[in-house]
Amino acid sequence: MHNSSESIRSSEPTQEFLTFTLGQEEYAIDILRVQEIRGYDQVTAIANSPAFIKGVINLRGAIVPIIDLRIKFNLAAVTYDQFTVVIILNVLKRIIGVVVDSVSDVIALDGEAIKPPPEFGSTFNTEYLMGLASVEERMLILVDIEKLMSSDELTLIDHSNT
């Protein structure tokens, strides 16, 4: 993973994205939402929760929920090994950890490189997609992580309470 500070941010609509893989697909999320990346640690399971909510961890004193997108999106092989990575996100004034297969890169994309998403054909509901981009023959799926995390599907947020 390259250091994100290498590229120069400007007022142009160039955005930096963190790319990660889930199964066969490569995804990208806005790097500014990423607080840190860490290995997968033991979690404390939370009762009465769907399977993709792995539980909570102690992140330097904060109780942080960990969700496994691979379980949520029914990807075949869900393993936890030394390569399993947790992306700690800072979205909606919350800290949320997301388990992914691996984190690959930080890339800069300008507005033109991002194509609108197709209507269907992705693991994600297109509602949560910002678009698609091709980088070196690979296709990246740009996810609006904030929207995804606040979706009712993930039940991460108690909408009645907030």
Q: Candidates 8-16, 22-30, 93-101, 137-145 — which segment interacts with other proteins by CB under 8 A?
A: 93-101
Alpha-carbon gap, residue 75 to 23, rounded angstroms: 6
Q: Candidates 63-71, 77-85, 103-111, 122-130 — which segment interacts with other proteins by CB under 8 A?
A: 63-71
For position 62 contacting other proteins by CB under 8 A, the verdict is: yes
- Binding-site member from 71, 103, 132, 157 for other proteins (CB under 8 A): 157
For position 58 contacting other proteins by CB under 8 A, the verdict is: yes
What strand order describes the sheet that includes 34-39? 34-39, 85-91, 94-100, 62-68, 53-59
Residues contacting other proteins: total by CB under 8 A: 26
Instruction: Select from 111, 101, 150 the least CA-distant residue to 127.
Output: 150
* 50, 77, 93, 143 from 161: Cα distances, Å: 19, 35, 15, 26
Q: For other proteins, which is the closer residue by CB, 11 or 48?
A: 48
- Asked if residues 116 and 131 have their Cβ atoms less than 8 Å apart, the reply is yes
Alpha-carbon gap, residue 149 to 136, rounded angstroms: 29
- Binding-site member from 3, 10, 48, 82 for other proteins (CB under 8 A): 48
Q: Candidates 54-62, 108-116, 128-136, 137-145 — which segment interacts with other proteins by CB under 8 A?
A: 54-62
Residues of the shown chain interacting with other proteins in the complex, contacts defined by CB under 8 A: 42-49, 55-58, 60-65, 94-96, 155-158, 161
